[in-house]
């Protein structure tokens, strides 16, 4: 059977979106170990290749084998919508070692060659030490693989949440699930994740569900987080095909002559809603300069803005779209 999550009315009232830098970190580690998942991320791989050589990822890969259970304790769903990496890794370090030991044993149980290997036995022999070791490795992976690119990744993830929040209001939960991923099905108050090797069934029992977009999850939707953590479904974020594209290289010269190069670059960069800091990082310009140009574009009717969490997100109006994406 596939992964199934059984809802009651109270669960539907407790569904929410969240963004997790910790999830993106461990998912990036997976992508490094699986060439078949690297297609969208080749520019990122070229940028991190040198630094990634110094990372010891084998203990993490040992617990991330394709088709098996991966430990939930080193990527639990965030408590809030916009948790920081520091908050999330602190939760990992504070996990009950007994719980972590059970989680790792489950991950290794179906693979005798790994369970009885020196590395597997070392993890299970001292769960307290293993938790800290794995947390250290995840923190090192964050610093090298994700943190330098987090403004760009966070902008895309926040844009996905903003878009799908509007879709939830417009079309309802059942139809939204199908739009998040073709692998998600809803029937008889049960969410089913199809096309997965995992076999899992869970009654949510009023805990609700966390919906988390991911840059590195493609092409799969992932779910089945066990107690004591809130259930979650991770799905591929919209727009990953253009994630690593440099916006300035796609700005039409005629638009640059009309608006000026910087304003044209900003307008063309807003394929998805983004904040000032993310745009400044992506375009290599000072936030104060980008903020000034955003204000001008907004006053000219080319952009609109709205607050999301701690920041203001800008997106193109129909007029802005017509200019940036000529027919």
Higher pLDDT, 212 or 50: 212
Higher pLDDT, 66 or 51: 51
Q: List the strands of the sheet with 232-236, edge to edge.
A: 16-17, 210-214, 232-236, 222-223
Rounded to the nearest 5 degrees, what angle is found at the Cα of 254, between the Cα atoms of 277 and 276? 5
pLDDT digits (tens, 9 = 90+) for 236-256: 998 887 788 765 556 888 898
Rounded to the nearest 5 degrees, what angle is found at the Cα of 33, between the Cα atoms of 32 and 34? 95
Run of H or E including 65:
none
pLDDT digits (tens, 9 = 90+) for 302-318: 998 887 666 788 888 87
Residue 294's pLDDT band, with cuts at 50, 70 and 90, is very high
**Same-domain status, 292 and 273:** yes
**Same-domain status, 254 and 112:** no
Instruction: Judge whether residue 327 has pLDDT over 70.
Output: no
**Same-domain status, 144 and 209:** yes
**Same-domain status, 231 and 267:** no
**Same-domain status, 230 and 253:** no
Mean pLDDT of all residues in 260-274? 87
Mean pLDDT, the chain, as a whole number? 87
What's the domain count of the chain? 2
Structural domain of 293: 245-324
Run of H or E including 203:
strand 200-203
Determine if residue 224 is left, alpha or beta; phi over 0 gives left, psi from -120 to 50 gives alpha, anything else beta: left
Nearest Cα to 256, choosing from 248, 281, 280? 248
Residue 114's pLDDT band, with cuts at 50, 70 and 90, is confident
Residue 280's pLDDT band, with cuts at 50, 70 and 90, is confident
Residues counted in the chain: 327
**Same-domain status, 276 and 230:** no
Higher pLDDT, 326 or 132: 132
Q: Are 325 and 268 in contact (CB under 8 A)?
A: no
Predicted TM-score of the model (pTM): 0.80
CATH number for the domain that contains residue 275: 1.10.10.10
Beta strands per DSSP E along 76-203: 184-187, 190-193, 200-203
Give dist(CA 137, CA 121) in Å, integer: 18
Tokens of 15: 């569904």
**Same-domain status, 175 and 284:** no
Tokens of 125: 């022999």
**Same-domain status, 197 and 58:** yes
**Same-domain status, 215 and 268:** no
Percent of the chain with pLDDT over 70: 94
Run of H or E including 166:
helix 150-171
Instruction: Judge whether residue 1 has pLDDT over 60.
Output: no
Domain boundary residue, one of 197, 219, 236: 236
pLDDT at residue 311, rounded to an integer: 74
**Same-domain status, 121 and 145:** yes
**Same-domain status, 56 and 140:** yes
**Same-domain status, 178 and 259:** no
């Amino acid at each position: 059977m596939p992964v199934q999550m059984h809802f009651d009315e109270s669960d539907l009232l407790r569904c929410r979106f969240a963004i997790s830098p910790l999830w993106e970190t461990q998912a990036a580690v997976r992508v490094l170990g699986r060439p078949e998942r690297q297609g969208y991320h080749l520019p990122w791989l070229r940028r991190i290749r040198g630094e990634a050589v110094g990372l010891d990822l084998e203990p993490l890969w040992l617990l991330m084998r394709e088709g098996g259970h991966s430990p939930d304790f080193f990527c639990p769903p965030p408590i809030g919508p916009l948790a920081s990496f520091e908050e999330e890794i602190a939760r990992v370090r504070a996990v009950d070692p007994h719980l972590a030991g059970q989680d790792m044993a489950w991950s290794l149980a179906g693979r005798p060659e790994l369970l009885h290997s020196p590395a597997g036995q070392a993890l299970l022999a001292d769960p307290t030490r293993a938790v800290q070791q794995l947390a250290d490795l995840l923190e090192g992976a964050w610093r090298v693989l994700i943190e330098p690119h987090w403004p760009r990744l966070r902008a895309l993830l926040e844009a996905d949440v903003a878009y799908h929040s509007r879709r939830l209001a417009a079309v309802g939960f059942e139809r939204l699930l199908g739009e998040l991923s073709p692998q998600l099905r809803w029937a008889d108050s049960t969410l089913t994740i199809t096309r997965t090797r995992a076999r899992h069934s869970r009654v949510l029992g009023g805990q609700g569900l966390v919906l988390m977009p991911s840059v590195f999850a493609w092409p799969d939707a992932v779910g089945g987080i066990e107690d004591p953590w809130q259930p979650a479904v991770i799905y591929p974020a919209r727009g990953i095909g253009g994630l690593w594209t440099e916006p300035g290289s796609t700005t039409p010269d005629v638009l640059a002559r009309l608006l000026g190069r910087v304003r044209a670059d900003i307008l063309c960069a807003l394929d998805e809603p983004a904040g000032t800091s993310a745009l400044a990082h992506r375009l290599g310009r000072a936030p104060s300069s980008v903020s000034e140009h955003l204000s001008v574009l907004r006053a000219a009717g080319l952009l609109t803005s709205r607050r999301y969490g701690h920041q203001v997100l800008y997106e193109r109006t129909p007029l802005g779209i017509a200019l940036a994406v000529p027919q």
